[in-house]
Amino acid sequence: MENTKHLLISIALSLIIFTIGTIGYMLIEGWDLVDSIYMTIITITTVGFGEVHIMSKLGRVFTIGLVFSGVSFFLYVASSMVQFMVEGRIREIMGRRTLNKKIKHLKNHYIVCGYGRIGRVLCKHFKAYPSLQMVIIEKDESLIPQMESDGIIYICADSSEEESLIKAGIKNAKVLIAVLATDIDNVFLTLTARQLNPNILIVARACHKGAKSKLLAAGANRVESPYDIGAISMAQRVLRPSVTSFLDLVFAHNRKDIQIDEIPVAPSSSMVNIMLKDSGIRQRFNLIIIAIKKPNGDMQFNPSFETVIKSGDTVIAMGKGDNLIEFEKVLRPRDQKEGS
C-alpha cells in the first residue's frame, strides 16, 4: 500500500515538471504547444536530439534547471515503477508460499469449494469458531482481493481437478463443502473428492430437485437446497414467529449470551460413565442439555437426570458461549482434540 502511494506521488510530481517545462518554453521562447512539448520530453529523457529552435540565454538557463530537476525525477519514477513491480511480485510469491505451507500442516480441516454468495456466508459463520480451520478453493481470480481481505486461506484453482483438492489437503481434511455454481460441477467435484478420501464428510449444494439423488449417488453425505431451506424458513416465520426469532438469536454467530453447540465426548473425559444428575453440568457451567446423540445415530431428546454420559456420545447443550467453551474442555481434553 505504501509503495503504491509512493509511486503515485512520484508520477504526479513528474507530470507537474512536464507541465512546467511545456509552459516555460511557450512563455520564454514563444514556441507553439507541439514544439514546447517536444523540447520538454527530449530534455527530461536526455535523448539529446538538439534544440528545436535557437534559444535565448533565459531559455538555456531554464533548460539547465529543467534538466537537473526533470531528469532526476524521471529516473526516480522509473526506479519506483521497477521497485513496485518487483516487490509486488516477490510479495505475491512469498505470500503464496506461506499459504501453501499453512495448508500442508492442516489436519481435520474444512474445504469449501466455491467462494460465491453461499460460500462467503458459510466462511463468515465458520470464522466465528477459532478452532475451525478451513481452506477455500476458488478459480475466479477476481475474488482473490475479497478472500485476502477476509483473511482466509485459499487456493485459486479449479476445485474439480484432483491436483487442486490434493493441494488443499483433502486426504487430511474432515469436511468438504461443495457450493459451486452448477449441479454438474458439484456432482463431478463430489465424485473426485470421494475417490481421494473415502472417509471425508461431503456436504453438497443442489440447485434443482433432480440433482439431489445424483449428488447422493456420487458420494455426498448430505445434500442441501438453498431454495428449499429458504422456503421452509419463510413458512416457519409465518407459522411460528416466536420460535424462529428464538432460533435466530441462538444461531447468531456474533452472540455470546446464548448459543447451541454439539460436543463429542472423548474417552479421556472425566464425565465418561457419569449420570447427568452427578455431572454438575448445571451448577458448574449453567448449561441446558438438549439432547445426547449416540454413536449409532440415535438421538435422546431432553435426556433424564439418570442418563449416563458415554464415550463417543455427542452432547448438544445450550447456554452462554464462554460456558460452552469451558464445557468442551472437560468433554474433549486438549490432547484428544489435537489427536482427533
Predicted local confidence at residue 253, as pLDDT:
59
Rounded to an integer, the average pLDDT of 115-131 is 86
Q: Enter the C-alpha cell of residue 67.
A: 534538466
3-state secondary structure of 297: coil
CATH 3.30.70.1450 fits 256-339, yes or no: yes
Between 203 and 339, residue with greater pLDDT: 203
Q: Residues with Cβ < 8 Å from 282, sequence gap 6 or more?
A: 288
Residue 178 main-chain phi, psi, to 5 deg: -100, 105
List, for residues 295-323, the tens digit of each pLDDT value: 988 999 999 989 999 999 999 999 888 89
The neighbouring-strand residues paired with 111 are 135, 176
pTM for the structure as a whole: 0.59
Alpha-carbon torsion (198, 202, 207, 209), positive or negative: positive
CATH 1.10.287.70 fits 2-101, yes or no: yes
3-state secondary structure of 103: helix
Rounded distance between C-alpha atoms, residue 101 and residue 69, angstroms:
47
Predicted local confidence at residue 149, as pLDDT:
87
Contact 270, 330 (CB under 8 A): yes
Rounded distance between C-alpha atoms, residue 134 and residue 114, angstroms:
13
List, for residues 67-87, the tens digit of each pLDDT value: 777 766 766 676 666 666 655
What are the structural domain ranges in the chain?
A: 2-101, 106-224, 256-339
Buried b (16+ CB within 10 A) or exposed e, 99-108: beeebeebeb
How many CA atoms lie within 13 Å of 203's alpha carbon, on the beta-carbon side? 13
Rounded to an integer, the average pLDDT of 116-140 is 88
Residue 199 has pLDDT above 60, yes or no: yes
Residue 273: band (very low, low, confident or very high) from pLDDT cuts 50, 70, 90: very high
Residue 174 has pLDDT above 90, yes or no: yes
Alpha-carbon torsion (21, 24, 26, 28), positive or negative: negative
Predicted local confidence at residue 254, as pLDDT:
61
Contact 202, 219 (CB under 8 A): yes
- Architecture label for domain 106-224: 3-Layer(aba) Sandwich (3.40)
Rounded distance between C-alpha atoms, residue 140 and residue 116, angstroms:
9
The neighbouring-strand residues paired with 137 are 113, 155
